[in-house]
Structure formats: C-alpha cells, structure tokens
C-alpha cells in the first residue's frame, strides 16, 4: 500500500500541479498588489485589544498548521528533496500568503450566522464549503469539499499527528504507542467536549508558548553552528535550481537531488505545513469578529507567515547547519530523524526539548483539525449528533498512534490534493469579490 500511494503522489504532485499551485500563489500575489507587504499590519491587528476573536481564529489556524510538519515534514523534505527543498518550501509560504488572504476573505464574506444555545451572542460559521454553496451556488462541490475536509482531518490533522506524538512520547517517556494513543484520545475528548469556545481558548494559550519554545531551540542550534550559516544559505539557493543532482558537500552525496525533486518535496511539504490553497484557514477565519473581511484576512494571512516563512525556514536552516558541521549525521539518520540529530547538539536538554515540542505541536494540531472537521461534518449533517464525528476522530487518534509513519505521510499528500481542486475553483471564480 505504501508503494501505491507513493506512486500515486508522484503523479498527483507532478510538475503540472506544482506549477498550478505556485502559479496560483504568484497570481494572487500580483492580483492583490503584493498583499504580503501588509504582513506587519496583520500582526498588529492580531494582537490589538479590539481583535480578541481575530487572534483566537488565528491561534486555531496556527494550532492546526504548526504541527509536526514543521519538524518532521521539513526533515523529510530535506532528506528526500535535498537542501533546495527548503527554498521551495519557503517560497511556497511567501507567495502562499496571498492565497491564504484570498480564501480567508471569501470565507469571511460568505459566512453564515449560527445561533448558540448557550449564549445570546450569535456566532458565525463558514469556510470554502460555504463559499462554494453561497458564492458559486454549487451545492455538490460544497458537499464534496466538506467530505474531503472530514477525510483530511482524519489524515493530515489526526493520524499523522498521533503517529509523531506517539514516537515522541516513546523516546521521552518510554511509553508504548497504544497507551499514548489512548491517553491522547482521552485528553482531546475532554477538550472538545467544551465546544468551539473551549478549543479556541486552549489554542490561544498553547500556540504562543509552544511556538516560542521551539524557535528558542532552533535559534540555539543556529548560534552553535553560526559559522556554517552562510554556507547553508548559499546551498539552499544553489541546489534549489540545480538541473542535475548536486550534494553541495552535505552528507557525502546522500542529499543529492535535482530541481524537480527539490521542488516536488519542498512545495508539497510547504503546503502540508501552511495549507495555503486547501482552504482550511478559511474555516477558522469565518468565526473571527473583525470589522471587515479585509482585516480578518490580513490577520489570518499571518498564520502562513509564522508557519512557513519563519518556523519552517528556521527548522531547515537548523538541520542544514548541523549537517554541514557533522556530515556523517545523514548516514545515521532517516527522513524523520534529521531534526532530532540537530537538536542533539544542545547539551542535556536538546532531545527532550524536541520531543516535548513534538508532543505539544501534535496535540495542538489534533485540536485545531478537529475544529475544521467538525465544522465540515456540521455542514454535511446539520441534524446529526456531533458525537458521531467526535467518536470517529478519537478512534482515529488511537489508530494513528500505531500506523506506519511513511504510509500516513503519503496518504496525507493524497488528501491535500483532493482539497485543492474545489477550493482553487472557488478562488478563481470569485476573485472579483476580493478587496484589499
């Protein structure tokens, strides 16, 4: 089955789709007048006193996107795609900010009011499925997208994270995977019983702490390997455009990759981490309480900035500087352990610190992606009890803890592809309604 999904993704994520995805990011960058220049305005809006709900929606998005893809995913991209994959991952993030702005703007614009039984304050619900239904008037496509989100929540947001969390807990606490899966499912179940507000409150508290903790670890690695940083940066850019395999002196040639391979893994991993183009950020943006769609879209756009432009870039550079200093690490590592090798440089606390970050990142993503999947489930089955989806999701957490890592990642790439098609259709058809 692993070989099947690997072959399938090689076709799905071939050059044509990579060009379409990057082309979409570039198109909306130009169409919106390089909206990325307003990044710091979006950051200010997210932390302003009047944007509490806006920050909550941003934190929920970051909880879902700042998952193990920023750690294990970047490690996999570097191992399989070479140093140049870092550039393509980073580029996907920069231009992808414009796509995130567009999909969050439309999700906010076409959101629908949702009365709460426990509060007189109306809440709103939205996302690409509502854009497809009320913007394009395509109920069938909206239902297809919702189904894909539900399936993706079991893959991208659930099993991959549970798998990485179980591996980290096994290294840190020597817990068997089935116990970790069971304990994690119980904790997630406790949080989600509080509803959307409890999920948002949890994300607001956890995301800044875990993000800061992980960045601190990466910065320490970069300081320890500071003399290799210029070479690492040069290697990223030179190998990103190499038509022939070139190892650039890293790992004795093991990381030799072509332009096509670097772009394939860099862009695919960039999408996995920032999710620009699949529309999931719009689901969280729709619940924001900003005054205008422009303000909410600016706030939501910063999630892609923090996720890929900052965290993924720093992760990639930490790995590469470590490999330049200790080239033998490649032969002793696998696709998922390069980041572990880099953090092992930090005396005493390095490996435990990374495992703690993996657990926190995975736990946050499990919570954030439950929110996405639950909203899609509500769209498809508004009269069904939410306990149905909750039960399936918690079972998938347990199963994900004992699945093969390679298989889970390959399935996740396939699910990402399924989400792209309807969301990109809506973006292009409704681009005239997007304002800056």
pLDDT in tens, 65-78: 887 777 877 887 88
More confident call, 194 vs 425: 425
Residue 337's pLDDT band (boundaries 50, 70, 90)?
A: confident
pLDDT at 260: 66
CB 163 within 8 A of CB 412: no
CB 415 within 8 A of CB 155: yes
Q: Is residue 56 scored above 90 in pLDDT? A: no
Q: Is residue 220 scored above 80 in pLDDT? A: yes
Angstrom distance (rounded) from CA 238 to CA 232: 10
What digits encode the pLDDT tens for the residues 103-143?
999 999 999 987 654 443 447 899 999 999 999 999 999 99
Comparing CA positions, the residue from 190, 47, 52 lying closest to residue 121 is 52
pLDDT at 331: 67
H-helix segments, 82-173: 84-109, 128-130, 139-154, 160-173
Structure-token pair, residue 119:
């509060």
pLDDT at 36: 95
Residue 255's pLDDT band (boundaries 50, 70, 90)?
A: low
- Name the average pLDDT for the chain: 85
Residue 405's pLDDT band (boundaries 50, 70, 90)?
A: low
Helix or strand or coil: residue 123? strand
pLDDT at 242: 67
- Percent of the chain exceeding pLDDT 70 equals 90
Residue 247's pLDDT band (boundaries 50, 70, 90)?
A: very low
The secondary structure of residue 159, as a DSSP letter, is: I
> Euclidean distance between the first and final Cα of the chain, in Å?
45
Task: Estimate the share of the chain in helix, then strand, then coil, as percent rounded to the nearest 5.
Answer: 80, 5, 20
Least confident stretch, 181-185, 238-242, 430-434 = 238-242
pLDDT at 54: 74
What digits encode the pLDDT tens for the residues 360-384?
999 999 999 999 999 999 999 988 8
**Which CATH architecture does the domain made up of 12-433 adopt?**
Up-down Bundle (1.20)
Least confident stretch, 123-132, 251-260, 276-285 = 251-260
Structure-token pair, residue 339:
């980041």
pLDDT at 22: 85
Angstrom distance (rounded) from CA 56 to CA 101: 17
Angstrom distance (rounded) from CA 130 to CA 375: 11
pLDDT at 28: 97
Residues with Cβ within 8 Å of residue 300, at least 6 apart in sequence: 42, 57, 58, 61, 100, 101, 104, 281, 282, 284, 285, 288
Q: Is residue 240 scored above 60 in pLDDT? A: yes
* Three-class HEC string of 347-375: CCCHHHHHHHHHHHHHHHHHHHHHHHHHH
Q: Which helix or strand (DSSP H or E) is residue 112 part of? A: strand 112-116
More confident call, 18 vs 98: 98
Least confident stretch, 54-58, 175-179, 391-395 = 54-58
Angstrom distance (rounded) from CA 354 to CA 220: 12
Angstrom distance (rounded) from CA 342 to CA 320: 9
263 Ramachandran zone, left/alpha/beta (phi>0; psi -120 to 50): alpha
Work out whether strand 112-116 and strand 119-125 pair parallel, antiparallel, or are unpaired.
antiparallel
Q: What is the pTM of this model?
A: 0.88
- Burial pattern 19-43, b for ≥16 Cβ within 10 A else e, equals eebbebbebbbebbeebbebbeebb
Angstrom distance (rounded) from CA 57 to CA 63: 10
């Amino acid at each position: 089955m692993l070989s099947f999904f690997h072959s399938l993704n090689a076709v799905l994520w071939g050059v044509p789709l990579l060009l379409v995805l990057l082309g979409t990011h570039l198109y909306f960058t130009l169409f919106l007048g390089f909206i990325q220049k307003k990044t710091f305005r979006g950051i200010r809006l997210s932390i302003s006193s009047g944007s509490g709900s806006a920050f909550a929606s941003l934190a929920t998005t970051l909880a879902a996107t700042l998952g193990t893809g920023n750690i294990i995913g970047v490690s996999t991209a570097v191992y399989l795609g070479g140093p140049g994959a870092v550039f393509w991952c980073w580029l996907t993030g920069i231009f992808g900010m414009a796509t995130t702005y567009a999909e969050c703007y439309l999700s906010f614009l076409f959101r629908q009011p949702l009365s709460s039984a426990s509060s007189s304050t109306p809440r709103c619900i939205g996302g690409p499925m509502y854009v497809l239904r009320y913007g394009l008037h395509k109920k069938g496509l909206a239902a297809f997208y919702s189904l894909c989100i539900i399936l993706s929540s079991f893959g991208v947001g659930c099993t991959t994270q549970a798998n990485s969390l179980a591996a980290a807990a096994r290294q840190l606490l020597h817990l068997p995977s089935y116990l970790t899966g069971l304990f994690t499912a119980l904790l997630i179940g406790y949080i989600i019983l509080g509803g959307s507000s409890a999920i948002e409150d949890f994300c607001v508290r956890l995301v800044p702490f875990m993000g800061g903790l992980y960045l601190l670890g990466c910065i320490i690695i970069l300081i320890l390997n500071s003399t290799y940083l210029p070479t690492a940066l040069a290697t990223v850019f030179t190998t990103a455009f190499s038509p022939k395999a070139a190892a650039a002196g890293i790992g004795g040639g093991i990381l030799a990759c072509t332009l096509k391979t670097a772009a394939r893994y860099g862009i695919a991993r960039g999408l996995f981490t920032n999710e620009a183009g699949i529309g999931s950020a719009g689901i969280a943006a729709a619940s924001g309480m900003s005054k205008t769609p422009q303000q909410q879209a600016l706030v939501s756009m910063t999630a892609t900035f923090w996720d890929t432009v900052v965290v993924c870039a720093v992760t990639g550079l930490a790995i590469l500087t470590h490999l330049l200093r200790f080239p033998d690490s490649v032969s002793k590592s696998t696709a998922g352990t390069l980041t572990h090798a880099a953090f092992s440089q930090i005396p005493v606390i390095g490996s435990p610190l990374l495992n703690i970050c993996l657990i926190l990142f995975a736990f946050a993503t499990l919570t954030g992606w439950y929110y996405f999947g639950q909203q899609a489930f509500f769209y498809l089955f508004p009269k069904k009890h939410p306990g149905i989806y909750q039960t399936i999701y918690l079972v998938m957490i347990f199963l994900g803890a004992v699945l093969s890592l390679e298989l889970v990642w390959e399935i996740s790439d396939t699910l990402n592809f399924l989400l792209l098609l309807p969301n990109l259709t809506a973006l292009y058809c409704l681009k005239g309604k997007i304002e800056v």
